[in-house]
């Protein structure tokens, strides 16, 4: 049954999201750092590799019901594709404002091998980004990723269900991520939260968040 397929997709995605969030928790990383010291530098690349593996498992196990939600025809397919390309450009623009080597885990290993790694950094040296795409929203990579996934000429039921799960995960994930950023940057980040929306550059959403 299609309903059961949808529920199974959601359940499997929940397992992926839970593991991803748990492994990213600051509490877990602090406990590890206390036990393994500077070797926590290897955690970031381990986290990224396992995240990819877990998502592959989710994709492999999830049912893919043969249901097409829509299939855009000319010229709407080209318009949608153009919007997707623009979203990809925005995603690249946002990603370039982050330290990709730090995000992947390469810089951590470089500092470790240079005997210059601080366990207090845990698995990543946090930097507060307030310029460029981060002036629009607090999580521009999430925003442009959602737009890129949304603008699709054809949509099937598996993709739509997964897309909705990803939006929910991005939002919930941003809440946990910002708790860590408040711990690190304190009042400076709280002020940033008051002035810049979370996921979409619409001020009404930001006002509702900060009531």
pLDDT tens track, the chain, 211 positions: 889 999 999 999 999 999 998 998 888 998 999 999 999 999 999 999 999 999 999 999 999 998 999 999 999 999 999 999 999 999 999 988 888 888 889 999 999 999 988 888 888 887 888 888 999 999 999 999 999 999 999 999 999 999 999 999 999 989 988 988 888 889 999 999 988 999 888 764 554 455 4
The count of domains in the chain is: 1
**How far apart are alpha carbons 54 and 19 in whole angstroms?**
8
What domain range is 29 assigned to? Answer: 2-209
Phi, psi of 156 (to 5 degrees): -110, 175
**How far apart are alpha carbons 193 and 15 in whole angstroms?**
29
CB-count exposure of residue 74 (10 Å: 0-12, 13-18, 19+): exposed
Q: Which pLDDT score, from 0 to 100, does residue 209 have?
A: 54
Say which DSSP state 97 is in.
T
Q: Which two tokens stand for residue 118?
A: 């601080």
User: Taking Cα atoms as reference points, which of 45, 44, 53, 71 lies closest to residue 16?
Assistant: 53
The pTM for the full model equals 0.86
């Amino acid at each position: 049954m299609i309903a059961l397929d949808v529920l199974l997709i959601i359940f499997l995605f929940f397992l992926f999201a839970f593991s991803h969030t748990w492994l990213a928790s600051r509490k877990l990383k602090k406990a590890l750092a206390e036990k393994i010291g500077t070797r926590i530098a290897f955690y970031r690349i381990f986290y990224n590799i396992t995240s990819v593996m877990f998502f592959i498992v989710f994709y492999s196990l999830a049912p893919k019901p043969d249901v097409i939600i829509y299939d855009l025809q000319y010229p709407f397919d080209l318009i949608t594709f153009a919007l997707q390309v623009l979203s990809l450009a925005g995603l690249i623009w946002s990603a370039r404002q982050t330290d990709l080597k730090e995000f992947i885990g390469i810089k951590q290993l470089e500092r470790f091998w240079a005997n210059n790694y601080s366990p207090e950094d845990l698995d990543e040296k946090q930097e507060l980004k307030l310029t460029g795409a981060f002036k629009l929203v607090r999580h521009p990579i999430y925003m442009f990723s959602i737009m890129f996934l949304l603008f699709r000429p054809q949509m099937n039921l598996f993709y739509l269900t997964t897309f909705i799960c990803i939006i929910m995960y991005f939002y919930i994930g941003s809440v946990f991520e910002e708790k860590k950023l408040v711990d690190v940057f304190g009042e400076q980040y709280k002020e940033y939260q008051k002035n810049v929306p979370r996921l979409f550059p619409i001020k009404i959403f930001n006002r509702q968040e900060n009531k």
